[in-house]
Amino acid sequence: MATTATDPPAAQPALPHRLAFPAMVLGSAALAFGPWLVRLADVAPVSSAFWRLSLAVMPLALLARFIGKPMAVGTVDRRVLLLAALAGLFFAADVALWHYGIVRTTLANAALLSNAASFLLPMWGFVVLGHRPGRKALFAIGFALAGTLLLVGRSAELSPRHLAGDLFCLGAALLYTAYLIVVDRLRGTVAVFPLLGMATAFGALGLLPAALALSGDAFWPHDWTPLLLLALGSQVIGQGLVVFAVGHLKPLVVGLTLLVQPAVATAIGALRFGEVPGPAEIGGAALVVVALVLVRLPERR
């Protein structure tokens, strides 16, 4: 269809769309440091989830105030508030279960099972949104699955001792998928930082009673550094970039780009703990990269 003089210039939305995929990759990389910081924190898992959200509320409010158009609370539509609250509750339950899982199973199991969202989100796009996967998309999913299994499959350990932690991580993946779906519904009407700020505040309020009831003496931290890094790195930077990208990318691209996390986690293990990756891990990382390249190539019409 030819453009007319009244049509908006085609180049206007190019910059946000061009930045969306790099933002998604960087956001996923920032989230990969979360499990390490959770284990460094000297509080109970549900408390670390609460502090991650509550400590991020003020930075997000400042970013919402000074970046883009600020939103007055009284002008927010009731539907937006309800969906933001739902997103916050989904995310609060997600991080609470995930933090419990991280300390009750191996890091490899946590990385493998929590990344089920990488495949659940594309399935939602195929089944509910009617996105028909092309040949490149199917190849990308296959490479991504194989790469994920190679990255963490050798270190994964299925045993009754880890069953509770494994189930927590799998439940967290389901809740994170639901959170991203609700965020996608809101991204057309709410800017990144107001949306993330509202969802984070609602999530922190939802987690506070559980954190107080379940943590006992392990609610207040003695060392704030891991929690501050978790709030700023995972919630403000990581989730901020992810929420920005969700408004511009298909569920398939968002889901597979989340697999940057186990690749970065493998690099962290090598650099920080001397866990040098073997040929299987290197091959798995290469397959994830191939999947990300394939998913960004245009489908042949």
Q: What is the pLDDT of residue 246?
A: 87
Sign of the four-CA dihedral 103, 106, 109, 111: positive
Q: What is the mean pLDDT of residues 48-74?
A: 83
User: In 3D, which of 155, 169, 102, 168 has the Cα closest to residue 275?
Assistant: 155
The per-residue pLDDT for range 243-297, each reduced to its tens digit, is 999 888 888 888 888 888 877 876 776 676 665 667 777 787 788 888 888 877 6
User: Distance between CA atoms of 244 and 246, rounded to whole angstroms?
Assistant: 6
Q: What is the pLDDT of residue 197?
A: 92
Q: What is the pLDDT of residue 225?
A: 96
Q: What is the pLDDT of residue 75?
A: 59
Is residue 152 within 8 A of residue 111, CB to CB? The reply is yes
Total Cβ atoms within 10 A of residue 138: 11
Structure tokens belonging to residue 51: 């502090």
User: Distance between CA atoms of 13 and 18, rounded to whole angstroms?
Assistant: 9
- Is residue 212 scored above 80 in pLDDT? yes
- Is residue 86 scored above 90 in pLDDT? yes
- Is residue 171 scored above 80 in pLDDT? yes
Higher pLDDT, 130 or 125: 125
Higher pLDDT, 137 or 97: 97
- Is residue 181 scored above 80 in pLDDT? yes
- Residues sharing a CB contact under 8 Å with residue 177, sequence separation 6 or more, in sequence order: 117, 120, 121, 124
Q: What is the pLDDT of residue 275?
A: 59
Higher pLDDT, 138 or 51: 51
User: Distance between CA atoms of 167 and 110, rounded to whole angstroms?
Assistant: 10
Confidence of residue 105 (pLDDT cuts 50, 70, 90): confident
- Is residue 59 scored above 90 in pLDDT? yes
Most confident of 133-137, 155-159, 201-205, 264-268: 201-205
Half-sphere exposure in the Cβ direction for 140 (13 Å, CA): 25
Q: What is the pLDDT of residue 232?
A: 96
Share of the chain above pLDDT 90, in %: 30
Higher pLDDT, 143 or 94: 94
> Average pLDDT, whole number, for the chain?
80
What's 43's DSSP letter?
S
User: Distance between CA atoms of 11 and 15, rounded to whole angstroms?
Assistant: 8
